[in-house]
């Protein structure tokens, strides 16, 4: 009950400020951002949303969104396993917290939680993966885990953000 209440409050705080709807090119994915977030496009399939922190902040929470072709027709379980297997090569100090399935707004997701330490900064990370036809849509969220346990609050705001993500159904042409 407490978790539901926190998510509801986070959702209201996230969506009740001045916000803008951003469509990620022709990928059929739209996100809602309030004025505290900036948006940039890294490539044709990668987008970065960054919280506007104070200049002296050790780290600013961010969300990286990728929309990629699922050419190998991997299941969500297989994609989650691949992400978990790459953690040791990406981070020197990490701890896998959990990998589980979830449903958000009626859509099936895999949720991978892990913590890392980089340059004496403790971060919490959540990667959420879903499929749409032949596309994989990945949401990578990183936020401070200082003091220890702080990431849970940050993670609630991420799930409030995900509740507002719109993913259009796309018809795949079969040739």
Residue ranges covered by each domain of the chain: 2-167
Question: Which pLDDT score, from 0 to 100, does residue 115 have?
Answer: 93
Question: Which pLDDT score, from 0 to 100, does residue 174 have?
Answer: 43
Question: Which pLDDT score, from 0 to 100, does residue 37 have?
Answer: 92
Question: Which pLDDT score, from 0 to 100, does residue 111 have?
Answer: 95
CA torsion, ordered 18, 20, 21, 22, to nearest 10 deg: -150
Quickly list H helices, the chain. 2-15, 76-90, 151-163
Question: Which pLDDT score, from 0 to 100, does residue 147 have?
Answer: 84
Question: Which pLDDT score, from 0 to 100, does residue 15 have?
Answer: 46
Structure tokens at 105: 């707004």
Helices 2-15 & 151-163 angle (0-180, nearest 10): 60
Structure tokens at 138: 């990945």
Q: What is the pTM for the complete model shown?
A: 0.83
Query: Which ranges of the chain have pLDDT less than 70?
Result: 1-17, 170-175
Q: Which CATH architecture best describes the domain 2-167?
A: 3-Layer(aba) Sandwich (3.40)
Question: Which pLDDT score, from 0 to 100, does residue 21 have?
Answer: 87
């Amino acid at each position: 009950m407490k978790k539901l209440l926190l998510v509801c409050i986070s959702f209201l705080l996230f969506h009740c400020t001045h916000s803008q709807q951003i469509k990620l090119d022709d990928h059929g994915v739209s996100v809602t951002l309030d004025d505290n977030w900036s948006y940039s496009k890294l490539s044709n399939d990668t987008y970065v949303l960054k919280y506007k922190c104070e200049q002296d902040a050790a780290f600013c929470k961010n969300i990286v969104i990728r929309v990629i072709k699922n050419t190998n027709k991997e299941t969500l379980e297989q994609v989650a396993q691949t992400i978990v297997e790459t953690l040791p090569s990406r981070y020197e100090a990490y701890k896998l917290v959990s990998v589980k399935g979830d449903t958000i707004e009626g859509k099936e997701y895999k949720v991978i939680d892990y913590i890392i330490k980089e340059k004496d900064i403790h971060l919490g990370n959540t990667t959420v993966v879903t499929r749409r036809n032949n596309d994989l849509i990945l949401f990578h969220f990183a936020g401070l885990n200082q003091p220890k346990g702080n990431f849970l609050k940050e993670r609630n705001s991420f799930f409030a953000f995900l509740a507002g993500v719109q993913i259009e159904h796309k018809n795949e042409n079969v040739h």
